[in-house]
Structure 1
Amino acid sequence: MSLHRLLDWRLHLIVVIVSLISEAIGILKIPLGPGTLLLLPLFYAFILGVLLNPHLFTATRRYVPESVSQAATPLILISIMPFIARFGSTIGPAIDQIISAGPALILQELGNLGTMLVALPVAVVVLKMGREAVGATYSIAREPNIAIISDKYGLKGPEGVGVMGVYVVGTMFGTLWFALMAGYLASLGVFDPRALAMACGVGSGSMVAACSGALAGALPGMADDLLAFAGASNLLTYATGLYVSLFIALPVAEWLYRRLAGKRRGAAEATPDAGMTAADVAPDERPEQHLGKTAAVLAVACAVGWIANTVNGSSLLTALPGMAILYVMTLIGLVLTRIVPFYLPGVAWVSLVSIVMTLPFFPGSGWIVERLAAVNFLAIVTPVLAYAGLALSRREFSMFRRTGWKLILISLLVFTGTYVGSAVVAQVLL
Structure 2
Amino acid sequence: MTSRKHVCHIVPPYLMQRLDPGRLDQDNGFRAAREEHLARVLAQVPAPEAGGTAAEVGDWTVYTAGNGTDLPGEKVRAAGEPESGDESVDEAATGITGSLALFEEVYGRDSYDGRGAEVVMTVHYDRDYANAFWDGTQLVFGDGDGKIFQRFTKAVDVIGHELSHAVTEHTAGLVYQGQPGALNESMSDVFGSCLKQRLLGQSAEEADWIIGQGLFTESVQGVGLRNMLEPGTAYDDPELGKDPQPAHMDDIYDGTDDNGGVHINSGIPNRAFALAAKAIGGSSWDGAGKIWYAALTGSAVTTDTDFAGFAAATIAAAGEHAEAVTTAWSEVGVTPASEAPATDGEAPTVVRVRRSGGFLGRTKEGVAELAPSAAGVATVRNLLAGGGAPSKPKGADRYIYEFEVDGRSVVVHEGDLTPDLHALADELLEK
Tell me which interval the TM-score lies in, with the shorter structure as reference length.
under 0.3
Q: Which structure is higher in RCO with an 8 Å CA cutoff and minimum separation 6? A: 1
Higher strand share: 2
Q: Which has the higher helix share?
A: 1
TM-score, length basis structure 1: 0.26
